[in-house]
Structure 1
């Protein structure tokens, strides 16, 4: 179902790919809309227990596309260093393929929002508690159940 990586010499281990997803700050979510056009959205996220989570407004282009087709990809690029003299770039990247769904359960939504605060605002966890609880009805949480990961990199010395 998923194509094999063409450049086997660039393949990174699955463990390294998971590490990239764990420490990554931003990724690009790719969806497809009713009009047939792909749509890429850069966003922050958390990777937890094999799932990619992010928060969103409950309406808009991204949500409409996910409701139209829940098959998505999510790309994270890490450790980027341009090498001008060798006309190359050092990088590590992951593309995760999966099924996106809107999280309905309030306890899972709150868990994910706390994980987002823990990752991006660790000094404000206590201050965030009331804000998070108050935003449960107006914030959508999307979970990507990852089905396949490709991990690729270029590391020149």
Structure 2
């Protein structure tokens, strides 16, 4: 997982690597973008969790359009938007965002799926860990997990003085 900001057009708007990692760790959702089996663009907002190293995990149904798209082409992009502030009187918006180039893995062993579900519970429902683990085990056969291995990421922001 490499932080690559050299390709960001507006070099005056670079987000620090530290803040980009904080957004990856703490944000609630991001937008997964991929190419479907027919060659069309397909994107959707999803909850996720970062493993703290180089991968994101997303839970899903064990079948569906996104799994078919990723089976066809494992290249994906994941975008997280952090703080935003619309400034209508100045015709602009303050923002911060991270864009990741990823390789999707859709076939995981049961141990990794359980680990991903535990990470998701820890992040999204920390006050319900015990109930979350029980629910995850009960529906384990009906849950799919996508792992997005982050190849590179970049961050951009705009702050208006």
Q: Tell me if TM exceeds 0.5.
A: yes
User: Which of 44, 59, 62 in structure 1 is aligned with 2:63?
Assistant: 59
**2:78 is equivalent to residue 96 of structure 1:** no
Q: Partners of 2:101 and 2:108 in 1: how far apart?
A: 22
TM-score, normalised via structure 1 length: 0.94
TM-score, normalised via structure 2 length: 0.92
Q: CA RMSD in A?
A: 1.4
Q: Partners of 1:92 and 1:103 in 2: how far apart?
A: 32
State the SS of the aligned residue for 2:9.
coil
Q: Partners of 1:75 and 1:59 in 2: how far apart?
A: 23
Aligned to 2:118: 114
Aligned to 2:155: 151
Q: CA deviation at 1:34?
A: 2.0
Matching of residues 35-74 of structure 1 within 5 Å: 35-48=38-51, 49-74=53-78
Q: CA deviation at 1:80?
A: 0.8
Aligned to 1:138: 142
Q: How many positions carry a matched residue from both structures? A: 156
Gaps of 5+ in 2: none
Gaps of 5+ in 1: none
**2:8 is equivalent to residue 5 of structure 1:** yes
